[in-house]
Amino acid sequence: MTLRLFNSLTKTKDDFAPIDAKNVRMYVCGPTVYDFAHIGNARPAIVFDVLFRLLRHAFGDVHVTYVRNITDVDDKINARAAERGISIRDLTEDTARIYNEDVAALGCMAPSISPRATEHIAQMVAMIEQLIASGNAYAAEGHVLFDVSSKPDYGKLSRRSLDEMIAGSRVEVAPYKKNPMDFVLWKPSDAATPGWPSPWGRGRPGWHIECSAMAGQYLGKTFDIHGGGIDLMFPHHENEIAQSECAHHGAPIANVWMHNGFLQVEGEKMSKSAGNFFTIRDLLADWPGEVLRFNMLRSHYRQPIDFTLAGIKESWKTLERWYGVTEPLANPSPDAAFFAALEDDLNTPAAIASLHQASELGLAGGLGFLGFSNVQMKIAAKVQTDSVAIADAIAARLAARKAKNFAESDRIRDDLLAKGIVLKDGPDGTTWEIKR
Ligand code: AMP
Ligand code: ZN
């Protein structure tokens, strides 16, 4: 198989050759856990899950290591915990658990390793000490800053010069910075903020050093693929490159950089104030995870996505039609056209188009390969056609309850549950939903 991937660093699409085919290594920036993940956050999870599956297919399941971190130390987390009057630990534990449930419902496999930033402070401190020793960082007023002027090719990923960055930045320049673009590796914590002892006093790491330290810990100095959303290219990924390369004597951190495009909703930037903000959880209440996943994969990962209700409905209809003709098979193999599309820089829209023409065998295999289980959809599709029967059953159960025939009303409820329908009794009567 010849897998070709677009490399955001070189801006070329190249044949992928892993450093070690026995251990193909990928790092993807994971969530900052302070709130429910939104449907935009689902995009890198789904896109890199498809790549993970493809790499496992090409190199063998046990020969791919996929690391996706959890950022559980961040000022947004501190603020939200204070606002809700709960401990930081409770907030991050709960949010990380919900994130994992949400992306699992979207058909994403668990990464090989999901390291948490707070469990790797020692590695971050060690890396910062190394950067100070090599003359790439300096301590000032309880902070440690990376000195961007010490890295002549700083800006090579986003292709910006230092002058352009300074002109384009609106950051307030702290007096302890030598250069306005110098970024924080370590900052002091007051008594009310989480902090760890360090040679520079009690404090906490900056966001960028977290990824450099965790990637280095689990994947070594240089690994194969680094991924994330396009919004992270600057400054986050630029800074990861600067830190890791300087700490590792110039060794590149990753050979291939991949960035997914942004997701908008009905043509607009998603924002809470605009009222077009959708959490994964909200959407899962209305749609099977497979429909949301399919809808995402109908666009190429580097293109922007316009997420619309009409698009989801269309995805639903397509899957419903396909599932009407195919059952998952034990070891199906998709058509060559399907793989040729995926191997061409994860061209999922073309892979999906090939499924439109596939034989039953190719279709079933392709769907499994894209991460669809078929189960949720089967139930959901059945529910749609059975909604009249469900309404009848609810009425019959109500009548049984009125007649105090509780054995019968329980039987009806259990019968529906066995079919994947959960009844909910509320002040306005009985409603139902699909069991997830
Ligand atoms: P965050 O928790 O904000 O750091 O984001 C987690 C991941 O989601 C990162 O890889 C982001 O690039 C990605 N992401 C955030 N918003 C969007 C969006 N609207 N469309 C696509 N990806 C996004
Ligand atoms: Zn990162």
Could you tell me the distance, in angstroms and rounded to a whole number, from the CA of residue 214 to the centre of ligand 1?
Answer: 19
Q: Which of 150-164, 332-346, 375-389 has the lowest mean pLDDT?
A: 375-389
Strand partners, 225: 26, 256
Distance CA 417, CA 414 (A): 5
Q: How many CB atoms lie within 10 A of CB 421?
A: 22
Q: How many CB atoms lie within 10 A of CB 418?
A: 9
Closest by alpha carbon to 206, among 137, 268, 266, 260?
137
- pLDDT category at 331 given cuts 50, 70, 90 is low
**Angle formed by the axes of helices 207-219 and 238-247, nearest 10°:** 50
Which residues are in the CB-under-5-Å shell of ion ligand 2? 29, 211
Could you tell me the distance, in angstroms and rounded to a whole number, from the CA of residue 230 to the centre of ligand 2?
Answer: 12
Contact call for residues 186 and 144 (beta carbons, < 8 A): yes
Question: Within 6 Å (CB) of ligand 1, which residues are found?
Answer: 29, 31-32, 40-41, 43-44, 228-229, 231-232, 260, 262-263, 270
Angstrom distances, CA of residue 380 to CA of 72, 270, 323, 345, 369:
35, 28, 11, 32, 21
- pLDDT category at 377 given cuts 50, 70, 90 is low
Higher pLDDT, 188 or 389: 188
Burial of 325 (0-12, 13-18, 19+ CB in 10 A): exposed
Amino acid letter, residue 409: S
Q: Whose CA is nearest to atom 17 of ligand 1?
A: 40
Q: Are strands 4-7 and 12-15 parallel, antiparallel or unpaired?
A: antiparallel
Whether residue 416 has pLDDT greater than 70? yes
First to last CA, the chain: 37
Closest by alpha carbon to 27, among 219, 299, 156, 172?
219
- pLDDT category at 385 given cuts 50, 70, 90 is low
Q: How many CB atoms lie within 10 A of CB 196?
A: 16
Distance CA 84, CA 372 (A): 37
Contact call for residues 195 and 204 (beta carbons, < 8 A): yes
Phi, psi angle pair for 175, to nearest 5°: -65, -25
Distance CA 89, CA 72 (A): 8
Q: Whose CA is nearest to atom 2 of ligand 1?
A: 31
Counting ligand 1 atoms within 8 A of each CB, the residue from 39, 41, 72, 106 with the most, and so the one to mutate, is 41
State the closest ligand 1 atom to the C-alpha of 29, by its place in the atom list counted from 1.
Answer: 10
State the closest ligand 1 atom to the C-alpha of 231, by its place in the atom list counted from 1.
Answer: 12
Contact call for residues 24 and 61 (beta carbons, < 8 A): no
Distance CA 46, CA 52 (A): 10
Q: Whose CA is nearest to atom 7 of ligand 1?
A: 41
Q: Whose CA is nearest to atom 6 of ligand 1?
A: 31
Whether residue 404 has pLDDT greater than 80? yes
State the closest ligand 1 atom to the C-alpha of 232, by its place in the atom list counted from 1.
Answer: 12
Distance CA 436, CA 413 (A): 16
Nearest bound ligand to CA 229? 1
Largest CA distance in the chain: 83
Could you tell me the distance, in angstroms and rounded to a whole number, from the CA of residue 208 to the centre of ligand 2?
Answer: 6
Could you tell me the distance, in angstroms and rounded to a whole number, from the CA of residue 331 to the centre of ligand 2?
Answer: 36
Both tokens assigned to 255? 């050979």
Distance CA 67, CA 114 (A): 6
Contact call for residues 186 and 204 (beta carbons, < 8 A): yes
Counting ligand 1 atoms within 8 A of each CB, the residue from 29, 231, 272, 300 with the most, and so the one to mutate, is 231
Peptide bond between residue 235 and the one before it cis (omega within 30 degrees of 0): yes
Distance CA 422, CA 418 (A): 9
Sequence-separated (6 or more) residues with CB below 8 Å from residue 15? 2, 3, 4
Distance CA 415, CA 413 (A): 5
Span 258-310, pLDDT tens digits: 999 999 998 888 888 888 899 999 999 889 899 999 999 999 999 999 999 99
Span 32-63, pLDDT tens digits: 999 999 999 999 999 999 999 999 999 999 99
Nearest bound ligand to CA 212? 2
- pLDDT category at 326 given cuts 50, 70, 90 is low
Contact call for residues 186 and 200 (beta carbons, < 8 A): yes
Instruction: Name residue, tokens 């979207």.
Output: 106
At 166 the pLDDT is 81
Whether residue 402 has pLDDT greater than 80? yes
**Angle formed by the axes of helices 375-402 and 309-325, nearest 10°:** 100
Phi, psi angle pair for 392, to nearest 5°: -65, -45
**Angle formed by the axes of helices 207-219 and 121-133, nearest 10°:** 100
pTM above 0.95, yes or no: no
Whether residue 89 has pLDDT greater than 90? yes
